Structure 1
Amino acid sequence: MPLTQAASLIQVVVNLENGEPVFSYQTTAGQPLANGDVTVTEAGTITYQLVDNTGKGLKFIGVGFITPFDGIIDAITVSSDGQLVQMLDMDRSAGTTKFQFVLTNSSNTLMLLSPDPQVKNEPNG
């Protein structure tokens, strides 16, 4: 079930399974979120916090959008330490956008892409 809250904190948990990164998403209370999907009904900021259990020194460096001009997300910022991504959603456009987190690691110069969570804007009641 997706989280429905504009000003929310979602933990992006990355574990290693058989040497491969596996992403999961949860609330700060530890409740799992299917695919990290968020439904927005009012303007606010969605914050994603990295929980790196890989020992590979993962850091966020950006977010790639499948449809960057759809008006769903208005801006993103990445913290200087690469542990947080904040997405500003003014909730002006109805619809759904898909994206992938882009991460670096301390083991090599390759970048890692997350599975694609999505943000859905719904009109306010």
Structure 2
Amino acid sequence: MSKAAGQAHYVKVNVDLENGEPVFSYRHFNGEPCEGDVTVTEAGTITYQLNDNTGKGLKFTGVGFITPFDGIVDAVTISSDGTLIQMVDLDNTPGTTKFQFVLSNAANTLLVLSPDPQVINHI
């Protein structure tokens, strides 16, 4: 888990192919492996950057939340090229929210779902 008060959070989302299937792994921007989860202690922005190693032209198209009305994450934006997702978390609501990245690909019209990282708010 990443925990840094007063700072933006950055996580690289690596997607590789294993036996023809996408496999997700996460790294802090300093290169250390992580689970993709982020702990927030004050208002800030969480940035996830896609690193597509599949050769399938993956792009972020959305984020699906299991509990979209829990108030943990306040807003989500996706870059026009589909390589960055930014989540705004005002840290007003304590708790944990789980989500999955939704990705398109250039090989077909099917969508790819990631395993579920989470945002944890500590007030």
The alignment's TM-score, normalised by the length of structure 2, stands at 0.97
By how many angstroms is 1:29 displaced? 1.5
The match for 2:8 is 7
> Sequence identity of aligned pairs in percent?
69
By how many angstroms is 1:96 displaced? 0.1
Q: Structure 1, residues 6-28: CA drift from partner, whole Å, max 9, x if none?
A: 51110000000011100000011
Counterpart secondary structure, 1:30: coil
Amino acid at match of 1:3: S
Q: Which structure 1 residue ranges, 4+ long, deviate > 2 Å from structure 2?
A: none
Cα contact 2:62–2:102 (8 A) shared by 1: yes
By how many angstroms is 1:79 displaced? 0.2
Matched, 1:53 2:53: yes
How does 1:54-69 map onto structure 2 within 5 Å?
Answer: 54-69=54-69
Counterpart secondary structure, 1:67: coil
Q: Structure 1, residues 54-84: CA drift from partner, whole Å, max 9, x if none?
A: 0000000000000000000000000000000
The match for 1:86 is 86
Report the aligned-residue RMSD.
Answer: 0.7
> How many residue pairs end up in the alignment?
121
How does 1:6-45 map onto structure 2 within 5 Å?
Answer: 7-34=8-35, 36-45=36-45
State the distance in 2 between where 1:39 and 1:105 align: 30
Unpaired runs of at least 5, structure 2: none
State the distance in 1 between where 2:30 and 2:121 align: 24
Counterpart secondary structure, 2:49: strand
Counterpart secondary structure, 1:69: coil
